[in-house]
Amino acid sequence: MTRVPDIPSFDDYVSSLGRLTAHVDPTAPSANASDIKEAAHSLSVLDNVSIDSLASWIAAHPKWVPVLGLAVGLSQEKLKNTLKNRFDSSGWQTLARQRANELITMLDEDYDVVRLVSVQRRCGYDFGDILVARAGTRLTATRAGFSGRKVENEVEAIAAGLGLRWQTRTRFVGRNSRTAPCDLAIPDGYNAAIVVAAKVFDSTGSKLTDAVREIEEMADVRLPRQYIIAVIDGIGWKSRKADLRRIYDLWATEQIDGTYSLASLGRFREDLERAARLSSRNGTTNPPKLASPQVTGSIMPPGG
């Protein structure tokens, strides 16, 4: 397969993905109750809590690394994604044996593990504290939804800044009157000249595969005159590289017109503006007028 010029390599694109959701302090429930309790007891009797002492602790007990994750509000899945993002490996036992100090330093810099373990191991907890901890998993899911919406808001803000009209979370009409889902259509789903998919995930699961299928459906339905753009981010994709590569290959083979992360939204804005200008000048769309009363029959702002 010949890669289209002027696009980053797949590895460079993967490295641009970042974490989207904030971590939650309350510990998540686990089926491994006995291991967790044993590890918690071991932590509680440490003479002191520091980067060095915790590094020695996980080097001696590599299987207990997830307990430190729980101490800072990381589920096992979130911990694996975090390790994959930082060390390109989700194998915490190997990391604990070979790079214990680096692992603990990362957990302290990003999640304040030394302070949180120091505080929590001496605390007494009541029934209310248990309920708060259990609510933490629901809060994580809620925040994940907020992060996805934040990316959509960023994309909408760019469209607004360019003076474009758009419609969100709709279906656009393509070849042979077929339709496909999109997160943003310019100017709308029926008259779509440009369509955007915004797919951001810090966790892994079936939603990522569903996102790939949606983008593949968009590419399959598109008319030659329509631009298909994807904004992809979140460290969850780093654990599903096969799915991410399917999207990247759509870009590399020119079945879609661009794939961006939050780190490249500046480039996204430039390319969106270029696509909008080309669509307007070629007369390939018949969108409604812009917010500006000076412009009709165009998806571009005055001066375009």
**Mean pLDDT of each 10-residue bin along the chain, 304 residues long:** 59 74 48 75 90 94 92 83 86 93 93 88 63 52 50 84 89 95 93 92 74 94 94 82 90 91 86 89 45 31 37
How high is the pLDDT of residue 128? 57
Q: What is the CA radius of gyration of the chain?
A: 23
Q: Is residue 110 domain-resident?
A: yes
Q: Is residue 301 domain-resident?
A: no
How high is the pLDDT of residue 224? 92
- 147 shares a domain with 108: no
- 250 shares a domain with 153: yes
- 166 shares a domain with 270: yes
CA angle 54, 56, 61 (to 5 degrees): 90
Q: Is residue 200 domain-resident?
A: yes
What is the model's pTM? 0.53
Domain range for residue 61? Answer: 22-124
Count of domains observed in the chain: 2
Which residue's entry shows tokens 């992360």?
261
Q: Is residue 32 domain-resident?
A: yes
Q: Is residue 245 domain-resident?
A: yes
Last residue in a domain, options 67, 93, 124: 124
Q: Is residue 56 domain-resident?
A: yes
- 256 shares a domain with 160: yes
Q: Tell me the three state secondary structure of residue 219.
A: helix
- 214 shares a domain with 87: no
- 172 shares a domain with 262: yes
How high is the pLDDT of residue 282? 63
- 273 shares a domain with 158: yes
Q: In what order do the strands lie in the sheet with 167-173?
A: 167-173, 179-186, 194-200, 227-233, 258-260
Q: Is residue 3 domain-resident?
A: no
- 148 shares a domain with 96: no
- 195 shares a domain with 99: no
- 72 shares a domain with 153: no
CA angle 46, 52, 58 (to 5 degrees): 70
- 170 shares a domain with 253: yes
CATH no. for residue 158? Answer: 3.40.1350
Q: Is residue 2 domain-resident?
A: no
How high is the pLDDT of residue 217? 96
Tell me the C-alpha to C-alpha distance, in Å, between residue 23 and each of 30, 109, 136, 192: 17, 13, 10, 38
- 49 shares a domain with 161: no
